[in-house]
Amino acid sequence: MPSSYADSFPPIVHAIVAHGPRRVLDIGPGWGKYGLACREYLPQLEILDAIEVPQGRLRTQPVIYDSVFIGDVRDAPEQFFWSYDLVLLIDVIEHLVLADGHELLARIQRAGPSVLVATPTWFVEQHGEDNPHEEHLSFWNAAEISSHSIEVDVSTPDAGIYILKGRR
């Protein structure tokens, strides 16, 4: 899904602001709307980066983000995440098979930052005709997220928004 539903935008932004990060990584930023929200609502923001797959939508990101890395985040080493306080995984995790999603979350958390995960609360069938990275391959609910980490702060499970606490 290239974009979350409009009613999920305010709770996601509230969760980001409540976390108060200074260094943010946005995985699969799409149009960059959450990056733009970080710029607007986080006065303490020092670094705002993004990582996008080569077939992704590189539209407004170079204007919004300090750096836009091109590549598959599953290939990023654990140390790639060291310099961030918060990693945004918004409308992305459902594009990974469960095992890859769990491995990605574990690597990010071991590196230290918290992770904001937002995902549909029901399985939405989506095929990646134009971009194979757009296909929905898994479904994540509160039980699936909670099984990943004992330090999960379920912000708004009815909206599919979770903050997984990092090691810092």
- Which pLDDT tens digit goes with each residue over 10-46? 889 999 999 999 999 999 898 899 999 999 999 999 9
Element (H, E) at 108: helix 98-111
Total-model pTM: 0.84
CA distance 168 to 157: 24
pLDDT of residue 76: 93
User: Domain coordinates of the chain in residue numbers?
Assistant: 6-164
Confidence of residue 4 (pLDDT cuts 50, 70, 90): low
pLDDT tier, 75 (very low <50, low <70, confident <90, very high otherwise) = very high
Q: What are the strands, taking DSSP E only, across the chain?
A: 23-27, 47-52, 67-70, 86-90, 114-118, 152-156, 161-164
> Contact 9/31 with Cβ under 8 angstroms?
no
Q: Is the pLDDT of residue 150 over 70?
A: no
Amino acid at 161: I
User: Residue 74 and residue 163: Cα distance in Å, rounded?
Assistant: 20
6-164 in CATH: which number?
3.40.50.150
